[in-house]
Structure 1
Amino acid sequence: VVYVSFGSESFISSAQVTELALGLEASGQPFLWVLRPPESSVAKGGLPLEWKAELLPEGFERRLEGRCLIETGWAPQAAILAHEATGAFITHCGWNSAQESVAAGVPMVALPQQSDQPANALLLAREAKLAVEMKISEGVAKRDEVERAVR
């Protein structure tokens, strides 16, 4: 199972959500995704109840029923990473997340967003060989890049 989370302080764009969703779908791998609304939605105040359906590609959850679980609230990350079924972690490379992943022995797919995350991603991928980097094009990791990194 691929675990996907970008922490409690990082947000990904709507375009990145779409590309990530389609890349995960194409990978054929089961996944658990902790999905938070884009920062722009949070800044505007209240979200419509159907924000998740509006953010994900049409029919996404229906097509992947039984292969994906999308959580929109809090998730027990350390427990998820420690579970024997977890085989990879798509992460923003925040230091706490990276430490939890290393402690659990789960390889990472790096998709850094801000602050120290790009430097952490480089360290984890290029120096420690504990993460796979995703190439970013026009500010987004494209679906074929997500599929490649997950496989």
Structure 2
Amino acid sequence: MTGDEGASARQASVDGVGGRTVNRLVAILCWLSVPLVPVALFLDGEDWAWWEVPATIGSLLILGPIGFVMWSGANRARADIARLRQSGRPAVAEVVGLELDEDPEGPTMAVLSLRISGDDVPPFSATYRCRPEPGFKVGARIKAVVDPFDNLFTLKRI
């Protein structure tokens, strides 16, 4: 595979130990809160109202998958870091485009369009989402780490 032929790039999840721990704790809290609805209703001692059964099922159907997504995200971040430490190659990412994604309900995110290449890394294009930093300008060259097998990359030092 040379250059961009059939290659797709994926930004690595590099949350760090703290981020992964928070994701796992949130997952556990989601799973533990599922039985709280029926336990609270049972301890109430009165007959169940018609809406309490759908509320119990709804909490299972919503909080269970949310916990799974959080736990899976922590696993994916750990696997990404391990892959980049083992197979990552140094590369340079040139910023060829920059957009600010301003969300009124959350933090402003920078969306960088990158051209990444290196000695052992065929050139490819990628998109990187992160918090804005002063060094992120069109034309800036940023150190990157890439697994050339499938272009898993990050701009953070591993």
So what's the TM-score if we normalise by structure 1?
Answer: 0.27
So what's the TM-score if we normalise by structure 2?
Answer: 0.27
More strand by share: 2
Which of the two has higher C-alpha Rg? 2
